[in-house]
Structure 1
Amino acid sequence: MPYEVIHLAASLQFAGVQSVVGTLWSVNDSTVQRLVEAFYRHLCRDGTMNSKRAARALHRAVQSLAGDKDMPLDQRIVFMHIGI
């Protein structure tokens, strides 16, 4: 329906992107930087990028943030994965 709203991550998936990482609300730049570094380290661990590893890579990256008790909880649980 034309009055429904979808978020950016879902719209990318509808456009054909197989695997999308997004956020549920705004997030601090420093948090995103730490997460992205950990995410790509896990995603490309053998030197190749494989979208089938995206969900696990995100999970491990979020786990790396979970140990930082100085980071607010809402900044540690904001990330989501959609796709394969």
Structure 2
Amino acid sequence: MPWSDYPSKPWESALILSNHTRLTLREISDMSLPHAEFAYLSACQTAKGVVQAPDQSAHLSTGMLACGYRSVIGTLWQISDEYAPFVADRVYAKMLEGGRPDYKRAACALHDAVQALRKEPGVSFNTWLPFIHIGV
């Protein structure tokens, strides 16, 4: 659920799971996640702030940082179902180089994935621009 649906209750912002249940930031923050290093939020508007607080960067992605994740990839607006897997595949391939995942590679992995996407025929500015990385 986009952050903007809960501007006055940011901890009620949630991920919609495959069984259509909500996993809220409050529930995530209550979990013991000592190894929470990387979150890839490949859904629309996971890094979109709210109009009511334009000077703040409060959104689902920063909420994941507050819950203990060290590195998060999110999106500023709607992303293409056609190209989201393209970006995710390249991000994870880069992060898994050497056989072991490394969250410290996330920013460079996203950069490389977006650069590859930009080279695809027919890809518009709005297709690659929404992807962002925050954290380490």
What TM-score, normalized to structure 1?
0.90
- 1:68 is displaced (CA, Å) by 1.6
Alignment root-mean-square deviation, CA: 1.5
User: Which secondary structure does the structure 1 equivalent of 2:82 belong to?
Assistant: helix
- Which has the higher relative contact order, 1 or 2, with Cα contacts under 8 A spaced 6 or more apart? 1
* CA distance in structure 2 between the aligned counterparts of 1:29 and 1:13, rounded to whole angstroms: 25
* CA distance in structure 2 between the aligned counterparts of 1:42 and 1:78, rounded to whole angstroms: 20
Structure 1 portions without partners, runs of 5+: none
- 1:31 is displaced (CA, Å) by 1.1
Cα distance per residue 1:8-61 (max 9 Å; x no partner): 111101111000000010101111110000111111111110111110111111
Rg larger in structure = 2
The aligned amino acid for 2:124 is P
Structure 2 portions without partners, runs of 5+: 1-7, 9-51
Q: Give the aligned partner of residue 46 of structure 1.
A: 98
The aligned amino acid for 2:77 is W
Matches within 5 A, 1:7-22: 7-22=59-74
Which structure shows the higher helix fraction?
Answer: 1
The list of structure 1 runs, each at least 4 consecutive aligned residues, that deviate by more than 6 angstroms after superposition, is: none
Percent identity reads 33
Q: How many residues align?
A: 83
What TM-score, normalized to structure 2?
0.57
* CA distance in structure 2 between the aligned counterparts of 1:69 and 1:7, rounded to whole angstroms: 32
